[in-house]
Amino acid sequence: MSTARVIVGLSGGVDSSVAALLLQRAGESLAGLFMQNWNDDEGDGDGCRAEEDRRDALRVAGLLGIPFHVRNFAGQYWRDVFEHFVAEYRAGRTPNPDVLCNREIKFKVFLDEARALGAEKIATGHYARVDQRDGRWRLLRGVDAGKDQSYFLHQLGQAQLAATLFPLGHLPKAEVRRLAAEAGLPTAAKKDSTGICFIGERDFREFLSRYIPARPGELRTADGQRLGEHAGAWYYTLGQREGLHIGGVKGRPDAPWYVVGKDVQANVVYVDQGADSRLLQSTRLWSEPAHWVDGAPPAARFACTAKTRYRQADQACTVEVDADGSLSVAFDTPQRAVTPGQSVVLYQGDACLGGAVIARTDAPLETRPDPAQ
């Protein structure tokens, strides 16, 4: 049993290290906990680097003089995050495991473990803020717009926000690096992790093929012209340019090709030229049942802004909440490559209202039958 009031999730990176530093400087009773969420036994050394990260987290805890705990949540992660990730790709959708990891692991399993250790709150190095208004907790964007992570946290609710601290929410990333260097933290110059943890530096398609075997299929234009072969429709996502290997096509300009649609059942990937192909454009999406930070939507129909991918600029839209909790979102201007399986996240100013998984859109290839059949 820990006597710490707050347990910070120490990942071995600079952000969580500075979160712990700031809490300690504020006089908080503190301990650190390292979560191992993936058992990388491939032996190729380029996965999550969990052991290196654990050592760095331990060094930070040692420098700060705070208790340090290690927990392996890989079983829960496999069941509650990774199996869903694979199932979504198999169905032809493009999931966002970071959203699910936050909901199921960092703000559920970790929170439960922190409470079992006697803590009242958890803290993480996320760039987001929490405040309270009229007795309700709000999830706010981080002040550094380039690092704001509220998009990935939109599945949190009142219970989680009441028990969470985000010490970095008011800081720009450059200041976090400066504070780390000034304090002599061993993670001060450590490179930020990018992409999906359990894939690491590996080739994405090679990794996914371990769980969803390759099955070659046709690359076609929207009017049915066959242009080549692909490795399996589930390996591709809307708007993708890389990995198509389409050479010069007679009668076509010498311009890049992009994925503009998929038929997973027929194992066909549709392509078109131009990053802004009309086939990638949509003005409306429909979602699965939404999650609301406040516990309920602000109204049955309301105007707000939305993001359909991380780091996208806010897009003005009108949201209608259906009887089953799903959403119909109409955008003021056309949107590019809105992708089923990803999340639409809604905002009013700096406040994140919540969001939902995108089910479908009105993009041309989603709203008409296959012209080649």
CATH numbers and ranges of domains, the chain: 6-182 (3.40.50.620), 214-275 (2.30.30.280), 279-366 (2.40.30.10)
Q: What's the pLDDT band for 334 if we cut at 50, 70, 90? A: very high
- Please, what is the average pLDDT of the chain? 92
Per-residue pLDDT at 1 exceeds 60: no
CA neighbor of 130 nearest in space, from 173, 170, 171: 170
Q: What's the pLDDT band for 200 if we cut at 50, 70, 90? A: low
Give the other-Cβ count within 10 Å of 146's Cβ: 9
* Euclidean distance between CA atoms 310 and 139, whole angstroms: 16
* Euclidean distance between CA atoms 18 and 180, whole angstroms: 6
Burial class of 22 by CB neighbour count within 10 A (0 to 12, 13 to 18, 19+): buried
* Euclidean distance between CA atoms 332 and 114, whole angstroms: 44
**Higher pLDDT among residues 251 and 150, named by residue:** 150
Residue 48: what pLDDT?
A: 55
Residue 20: what pLDDT?
A: 98
Counted residue by residue, the chain has a size of: 373
The whole-number average pLDDT for the span 126-154 is 97
**What contacts 69, CB < 8 A, 6 or more positions away?**
2, 7, 31, 32, 33, 34, 117
DSSP string, 1-33: ----SEEEE--SSHHHHHHHHHHHHTT--EEEE
How distant, in Å, are the alpha carbons of 36, 97, 158, 189, 325 from that of 15?
Answer: 17, 20, 24, 11, 35
CA 344 remoteness from chain centre: 11
Pick the range with the lowest mean pLDDT from 111-115, 175-179, 200-204. 200-204
This prediction's pTM:
0.93
The whole-number average pLDDT for the span 70-90 is 94
Per-residue pLDDT at 125 exceeds 80: yes
Cα angle 45-185-98, degrees, rounded to a multiple of 5: 50
The whole-number average pLDDT for the span 293-303 is 98
Residue 288: what pLDDT?
A: 97
Q: Are 33 and 70 in contact (CB under 8 A)?
A: yes
If DSSP codes are grouped into helix, strand and coil, which group holds residue 268?
Answer: strand
Give the active site residues: 101, 197
The whole-number average pLDDT for the span 186-190 is 92
Q: Are 351 and 142 in contact (CB under 8 A)?
A: no
Q: Are 216 and 229 in contact (CB under 8 A)?
A: yes
Burial class of 58 by CB neighbour count within 10 A (0 to 12, 13 to 18, 19+): middle
One-letter amino acid for residue 69 of the chain? H
pLDDT digit string, tens, across residues 148-184: 999 999 999 999 999 999 999 999 999 999 999 999 9
**What contacts 108, CB < 8 A, 6 or more positions away?**
160
Q: What's the pLDDT band for 371 if we cut at 50, 70, 90? A: very low
Q: Are 306 and 314 in contact (CB under 8 A)?
A: yes
User: What phi and psi, each to the nearest 5 degrees, are found at residue 230?
Assistant: -125, 175
Per-residue pLDDT at 298 exceeds 70: yes
CA neighbor of 262 nearest in space, from 89, 145, 76, 106: 89
CA neighbor of 343 nearest in space, from 103, 140, 110: 103
Q: Are 200 and 47 in contact (CB under 8 A)?
A: yes
If DSSP codes are grouped into helix, strand and coil, which group holds residue 224?
Answer: coil
The whole-number average pLDDT for the span 345-365 is 97
One-letter amino acid for residue 159 of the chain? A
Give the other-Cβ count within 10 Å of 283's Cβ: 16
Per-residue pLDDT at 46 exceeds 50: no
Q: What's the pLDDT band for 367 if we cut at 50, 70, 90? A: low
Residue 336 forms beta bridges with which residues? 281
